[in-house]
Amino acid sequence: SPPGLLLLTSFLLHMEEAHASPTRLVCDNRLIQKYIGEAKDMEKRAGQCQVLPALSCPVVLPLVDFSLQQWKSKSNETKLREILCDLALLVGATVGAQGQVTEECGARQLSQLYRHANSFLLLLQTFSQEAGPWEPGCSPRSMEQTHVTSIFLTYRQLVQGKLRFFFHDLAKDLCK
């Protein structure tokens, strides 16, 4: 799809400052640290917006907590599909919240979150092309939320948790 291609291109150009290919993203630990930092910043800035009203229509967020023991026992393909599921749900929740948040500060943070989460989604889909076609019809563990800030919290937890560990696991294979 052309818009998806455009987003991926702009993501890769945005990442050009770090000369990041998917491999580099995985092999250069500073990059994932940068994304964790950005996720924390977005969460903090969203928390500093005027009190954001509760969403009248709840959004569905993935539950991204995980047991490291269980995580280590999964194949990289399974981990990737799980992260793609979580990200797809998170992007959907962000879009759902964007339609309800009119306050400028909150709307700005949500659109930034959308760009980041969607770029990861597109980037990881390029990894998964090799793992076979990805079906968005997956159903991760999830819960409904009416607090906008919980979307930012979920994103930060996903980047700090599953994504960071996934990149770490991939690095063992890719970064000889």
Angle, vertex CA 18, rays to CA 43 and CA 26, nearest 5: 75
Is 142 part of any domain?
Answer: yes
Structure tokens at 17: 């400052």
Is 1 part of any domain?
Answer: no
**Confidence (pLDDT) at 69:** 92
Structure tokens at 59: 């959004």
Structure tokens at 49: 């917006």
Per the structure, the count of domains in the chain is: 1
User: Residues 139-159: pLDDT tens digits?
Assistant: 668 999 999 999 999 999 999
Is 66 part of any domain?
Answer: yes
Is 2 part of any domain?
Answer: no
Is 96 part of any domain?
Answer: yes
**Model pTM?**
0.82
Structure tokens at 170: 């991939």
Is 9 part of any domain?
Answer: no
Domain range for 90: 14-174
Is 6 part of any domain?
Answer: no
Is 98 part of any domain?
Answer: yes
pLDDT under 70: residue ranges of the chain: 1-24, 128-137, 139-140, 176
CATH assignment of the domain containing 33: 1.20.1250.10
Structure tokens at 134: 């990805």
Distance CA(134)–CA(137), nearest Å, equals 9
**Confidence (pLDDT) at 52:** 80
